[in-house]
């Protein structure tokens, strides 16, 4: 008999709201020792955010900040070039301070039911190149299963390599 999500999921999963500023998200990730969180609005799961989402946004902000600014006055358009990497970094930092979890989170959820087998969950994770799935019931978060959980279960001998 295959193990199910309900038998192995981590319960009492820490979540974050979409309104959380990104600097606070980084602190929460460090304090919890995790790489991502489910994002909730009240009782409903609305997304997932991970450190890689923040890094992706940093790349977007860096590209935007690396372009010159322009202004227009009576004589036309004028460019204000960025001269140093410190100026670019300062601009990126300023832009990131104003972003929230909702600005960078993934809204496409990979959720499974409590009775889903680990084999099916592993296939979902592989097929979608994801590191965690949410266990939900009617949009409410019950637990989480991550790739690390599969490693732990294998090391404990609770799951065996398929022949």
**pTM reported for the whole predicted model:** 0.78
Average pLDDT over residues 73-82: 69
Measured in degrees and rounded to the nearest 5, phi and psi for residue 155 equal -65, -35
For residue 83, pLDDT over 90 is answered with: no
Evaluate the CA torsion angle 154, 156, 159, 162 in order and state its sign: positive
Query: Which of the four pLDDT bands, split at 50, 70 and 90, describes residue 106?
Result: very high
Q: Which domains does the chain have, with CATH numbers?
A: 5-155 (3.10.580.10)
- DSSP codes of every residue in 4-19: BHHHH-B-S---EETT
Task: Specify the pLDDT at position 27.
Answer: 95
- R_g of the chain, CA atoms, integer Å: 21
For residue 9, pLDDT over 80 is answered with: yes
102/80: higher pLDDT: 102
Average pLDDT over residues 138-144: 93
Task: Specify the pLDDT at position 74.
Answer: 77
For residue 93, pLDDT over 90 is answered with: no
CA distance 94 to 108: 28
For residue 109, pLDDT over 80 is answered with: yes
Task: Specify the pLDDT at position 68.
Answer: 58
Task: Specify the pLDDT at position 104.
Answer: 93
Query: Which of the four pLDDT bands, split at 50, 70 and 90, describes residue 101?
Result: very high
Angle at 92 between CA 87 and CA 97, to 5 degrees: 130
DSSP secondary structure code for residue 157 in this structure: T
């Amino acid at each position: 008999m295959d193990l199910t999500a309900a038998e192995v999921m981590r319960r009492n999963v820490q979540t974050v709201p979409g309104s959380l500023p990104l600097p606070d998200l980084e602190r929460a990730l460090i304090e919890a020792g995790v790489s991502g969180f489910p994002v909730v609005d009240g009782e409903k799961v609305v997304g997932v955010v991970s450190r890689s989402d923040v890094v992706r946004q940093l790349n977007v902000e860096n590209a935007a900040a690396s372009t010159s600014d322009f202004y227009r006055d009576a004589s036309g358009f004028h460019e204000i070039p960025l001269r140093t990497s410190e100026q670019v970094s300062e601009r990126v930092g300023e832009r990131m301070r104003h972003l929230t979890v909702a600005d960078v989170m993934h809204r496409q959820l990979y959720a499974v039911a409590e009775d889903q087998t680990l084999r099916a969950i592993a296939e979902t994770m592989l097929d979608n190149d994801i590191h965690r799935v949410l266990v939900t019931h009617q949009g409410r978060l019950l637990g989480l299963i991550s790739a690390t959980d599969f490693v732990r279960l294998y090391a404990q001998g609770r799951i065996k390599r398929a022949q």
